[in-house]
Amino acid sequence: MYQDVLTQINESQMILVGIGNELSCYHGIDWNVEKEFSDWKEIFLTNEESSQNEIQGFYKILSDILNGKNYFIITTNVDDLIYESGLKPERIVAPCGSKNRLQCRCEGEDGLIKTPKQYYDAASACICEKCGYAYEPNIYNKNYYNENGYLKQWHLYNKWLQGTLNRKLTILELGCDFSFMSLIRLPFEKIALINQKSFYYRINGHFPQITGELKEKMKSVFCTPQEFFKKFKGSREIQEL
């Protein structure tokens, strides 16, 4: 199966990648539970240290595999580790937010600021003078979410998707659960149904099930993305297939 995936990627004109929380430092954390800023800071500074090396290693492999390819990646993760790899930021959209941005209640981009680790303490005490609300992480939740942090990339992503029609397309769904089915699992299945030249791989250590409508053009792999691609040796491996 591993060689099949690499061959499929090498022969495709475009590659669509969806990345879920099996590749997140914060796997299993419920973002919708109300938290103080100190709680967010503890999550950000503690959880990422435990798993980021393995995840960064995976992104390096993915970067080598996609090198020179026409790809776009949508990720539901907010840890921003994907941006520390060789993957092109202009080919990535993260609609669930970023741990490195804060939001207040001001409208548009005025309600967003970037927040590297060294500013967490200062930001936790800040109240926005314009709206009177305390800053909080710009991460999707049911109470309030400023979407302007990702909308520019979202428009680029949708424009790119329009160009996949009638192109030989490989779809890689990597470690996605059912938390944000409307972003990856269901839209990807729809794309595969419409595009007769597509092939879909669902690589997942927990939920690898496939739909009957796609059984002829979809394969599932019951393991985590990290486990599946750990054999990859480098970009030359694809070129020699």
Please tell me the distance from the alpha carbon of residue 186 to that of residue 180, in angstroms, as a whole number.
9
- Give the pLDDT confidence of 152-172 residue by residue, as tens digits: 999 999 999 999 999 999 999
What is the number of H-type helices and E-type strands within the chain?
7, 9
- Over residues 195-217, the mean pLDDT reads 90
Please tell me the distance from the alpha carbon of residue 126 to that of residue 47, in angstroms, as a whole number.
24
Report the percent of the chain where pLDDT is more than 70: 88
Task: Identify the helix (H) or strand (E) that includes residue 140.
Answer: none
Most confidently predicted of 20-29, 106-115, 156-165, 174-183:
156-165
Task: Identify the helix (H) or strand (E) that includes residue 136.
Answer: strand 136-139
- Give the pLDDT confidence of 105-131 residue by residue, as tens digits: 999 988 998 876 655 666 666 788 889
- Over residues 228-239, the mean pLDDT reads 63
Helix axes 2-11, 37-66, angle to 10 degrees: 70
Please tell me the distance from the alpha carbon of residue 14 to that of residue 70, in angstroms, as a whole number.
5
- Quote the pTM value: 0.90
pLDDT above 80: residue 9: yes
The token duo for 44 is 């950000």
Report the percent of the chain where pLDDT is more than 90: 52
